[in-house]
Chain A
């Protein structure tokens, strides 16, 4: 759910940033509608995921700890093809943890800046925190750039790691082979 809505958000967001048909939208109206619907899916799913992480204390598996930092050189060596044997990790490898923890911080920032840009008047107090709406726009754009690059890396590594994991990003179901 997160992945397809994220992709729609990026495409419609890029249209809103720089209107052009290459993003797959015919008008600002359609791009904004798509952005709006996708952000609801994204927002609610993200909140559910965050709730789950807190309730089940799953967040401890997402944020990297000292062990992960120690294990990082081995992981990097494998990904840079300097080592042949794939190191084993209980659930997420240190690279995934770094990626997820950054996502966990950037997604809320994106939701907040998006809300401020939509409710310009009602959330003026929040825009003050950024120094004004122009800065909010910039923060929203730069976060999109960062997140898109991370999500691209996430999908790629899932593909090269296992096809099932890649499928799970879009379907939500994971069947280990």
Chain B
């Protein structure tokens, strides 16, 4: 078995090329075969983008993942079983392997109307809500992993006006949840986190409980177009081949390794390389507080109104100018300003001249005095 450090190096540095399995050694996966962790993948309110992302994993591929790495017992998107047969697996795993399995949740958990906005099946003739499933299965799981931004932070399924009162997994569970955000999450982020859990346990996490292995640096610091940014060469619109900052790129405030990992199975491309700005899909504020995507700053949401941040700046500037301008005109008309200026520019009267220094100077003087006294 390779060391944890080497694992991190391989996943971090060589994520941009296919062949991760080869680098880890083909024996590695089969060695772990005996220790395959039971995994339950629950789909709640989701577009299933992360499930598709998992299926897109190229190396290791989906077959290697489920036969050599994990014991995938329940997978809403890819299992042929339905009805009691499928929900029965959840109950069996809960009864037979408590404290051993990994619960992966994809999607937000609707909490309005006792969670009835997402029902994953029937149990004893009653709807089995996603809320119940996550709370029951989550309480007894060895690890809980929220895959995708919806499960991690709320994401699009909890965006305004959020009619189902959808919540992130960590908001409905009173325990540690490992977040693997992304809209969708990159296949490597999902498989890499799983592999780490299987072989080495919990990975190092950042303040938002994201594995630093994949979310340890900002996109901006890894971006191939960074030199354009520093030199002030910007694309005015999406589609142009320069730095996307002026087109609203969220790279400077987004932690992910997209620039070198890249997407499309073969690690071919990523948004900036495709001449569109990063929209910050792995961030906790996505999408309500990263919109508009093609603007530098998010809109300000006030009750009943949404205001553009730039407009707030412009309106404040105009109001300040009107206020000062109005006062200035009135000051001139009333003769107050000419009087002040006359007084200000008249030669100083001979006699007492009080020199009031800056507070910092007074401070320095008092320290000097103190030191002198001590000596």
Are A173's CB and B357's CB within 8 A?
Answer: yes
Are A133's CB and B334's CB within 8 A?
Answer: no
Select from chain A the residue with minimum beta-carbon distance to B217.
Answer: A121
Report the Cα distance A134→B297, complex, angstroms. Answer: 7
Report the Cα distance A141→B216, complex, angstroms. Answer: 25
Are A134's CB and B285's CB within 8 A?
Answer: yes
Select from chain B the residue with minimum beta-carbon distance to A55.
Answer: B363
Are B341's CB and A52's CB within 8 A?
Answer: no
| Of the residues B253, B310, B336, B348, contact of A175 by C-beta under 8 Å | B348
Known A-B contacts A19-B245, A121-B216, A160-B336; A128 and B207 likewise in contact (beta carbons under 8 Å): yes
Known A-B contacts A134-B253, A162-B343; A48 and B360 likewise in contact (beta carbons under 8 Å): yes
Binds A, one of B13-21, B30-38, B321-329: B321-329
Number of contact residues on B: which range applies?
A: 35 or more
Report the Cα distance A133→B284, complex, angstroms. Answer: 9
The answer to whether A101 has its CB under 8 Å from any CB of chain B is no
Report the Cα distance A62→B341, complex, angstroms. Answer: 27
Q: Which chain A positions have C-beta within 8 A of B358?
A: 1, 172-173
Are A175's CB and B285's CB within 8 A?
Answer: no
Q: How many A-B contacts at CB < 8 Å in the complex?
A: 156
The secondary-structure label for the interface of chain A is helix
Are A162's CB and B253's CB within 8 A?
Answer: no
| Of the residues B231, B330, B344, contact of A164 by C-beta under 8 Å | B344
A residues 146-164 near B (Cβ < 8 Å) are: 146, 148-149, 152-153, 156, 159-164
Select from chain A the residue with minimum beta-carbon distance to B228.
Answer: A28
Are B234's CB and A138's CB within 8 A?
Answer: no
Q: Which chain B positions have C-beta within 8 A of A145?
A: 312-313, 316-317
Report the Cα distance A159→B354, complex, angstroms. Answer: 20
Are B340's CB and A134's CB within 8 A?
Answer: no
Are B348's CB and A177's CB within 8 A?
Answer: yes
Fill in one digit per residue for A45-86: 1 if any B CB lies within 8 Å of its CB, else 0: 100110111011010000000000000000000010100000
Fill in one digit per residue for A18-40: 1 if any B CB lies within 8 Å of its CB, else 0: 11000001111100000000000
Known A-B contacts A45-B360, A134-B298, A145-B312; A120 and B218 likewise in contact (beta carbons under 8 Å): yes
Q: Which residues of A contact B (CB under 8 A)?
A: 1, 17-19, 25-29, 45, 48-49, 51-53, 55-56, 58, 79, 81, 117, 120-121, 124-125, 127-128, 131-138, 141-142, 145-146, 148-149, 152-153, 156, 159-164, 172-177
